[in-house]
Homo-oligomer: A and B are copies of this chain.
Amino acid sequence: MHFASDNTSPAHPAILEAMAEANSGRSAAYGADALTRRAEAALRDLFEAPEARVYLVAAGTAANAILLSSLAKPWETVFAARTAHIEEDECGAVPFMTGGGTITLVDGRDGKIDADALGQAMGALGGRDVHGHAPGPVSLTQATEKGTLYRPDELAEIATRTKGAGVPLHMDGARFANGVAALDVSPADLTWRAGVDAISFGGTKNGCVGLEAMVIFDPELAPDIERHRMRSGHLLSKQRYLAAQLLAYLEEGLWLDLARQANQSAAHLAKGLSGKNELRLLYPAEANILFFDAPRGLHRRLFAAGAEYHLWSGPLDGGPEDDWLTARLVCDWSIDKGDIDRFLDLL
């Protein structure tokens, strides 16, 4: 009963097979290899974006920080949700790698940025001239850290604000696959057609060994991205193994199959939980993550029975049994369906 994180899953076997297949003969270093060319092309095809630029790295924090460093000037502020990964989970990688940029936290519901709150946050910078932060990219997360999704029209509403302010719109797509699978729209519809300028397209949490692709739809937006990747140590010398992962990940829709499995597991779990009186689901479980509140006593019982997940508030031990604590459950492609049923049976 492992619901702690989609980072704890193994890679899908096809990914490792592709890496092994790529492992023969010589190959140009630092991304000048043929496999990298093919992988870039495959991703451009997926996004129906023949002009897009694609860059591969091994980690999601790297993808976000390099992209935002390339899109923002050091005195700009990135707008993001309070719960954004770049704010809460990346140890200040964005301020560091942008050279002193900041993150302005924007209110919203269910882990999302609210378009009006964004407009207000942007407006609040106005009139301060060189003394204030300059407005920089907006970075939203799809699926959000709360397991919810932006629909294309919600993205478009935010994009209206970014276009109005003349700043780029970035999507942290560590769980983009879960979004596409759940909404059943095309990758293009969920990105550039809705106004997204660049995406960190994630693979690691959804069956890869370690692979994230930075995609910039307008090739003029981030002219220095290769310098940013290199000077932060993220240009891998043997990039063919990243390219091999990406090709296998996209082949015959594996990426969507895996995301669909994860989403279905979460939906099954959410359905099972929704009928229970002793707990309360917190957000619409639209992707592969769900949150619920329950009394400490219940959590203790679940942990004792072998369930693994993160508590978002308070410690498991040391407080009253009837204090309510927030929990997060994550389902990935490899989750054992039997585990879900065992978990639900415990309740």
Contact = CB atoms under 8 A, between A and B. Distances in A.
A91 B75 contact: yes
A235 interface: yes
B96 A62 contact: no
A109 to B, nearest CB: 19
Contact of A100 (B75, B100, B224): B100
Contacts of A75: 91-92, 96, 224, 227, 230-231
A78 B208 CA distance: 36
A89 to B, nearest CB: 5
Contacts of A20: 13, 16, 20
A7 interface: yes
A18 B317 CA distance: 39
Contacts of A5: 29
Indicate the member of A28, A63, A102 with the most B CB atoms within 10 Å.
A102
B28 A10 contact: no
A100 B92 contact: yes
Contacts of A231: 74-75, 90-93, 96-97, 100
A91 B75 CA distance: 6
B91 A230 contact: yes
Q: How many copies does the complex hold?
A: 4
Interface in A53-107: 57-66, 73-75, 77, 88-93, 95-97, 99-103, 105
A237 B59 contact: yes
A318 interface: no
Prevailing SS type, chain A contact patch: loop
Interface size class on chain A is: 35 or more
Interface stretch (A124-132, A186-194, A270-278): A124-132
A89 B235 CA distance: 12
B210 A238 contact: yes
A30 interface: yes
A112 interface: no
A320 interface: no
A25 interface: yes
A27 to B, nearest CB: 6
A247 interface: no
A101 B95 CA distance: 7
A118 B99 CA distance: 27
Contact of A95 (B8, B16, B23, B100): B100
A230 B236 CA distance: 17
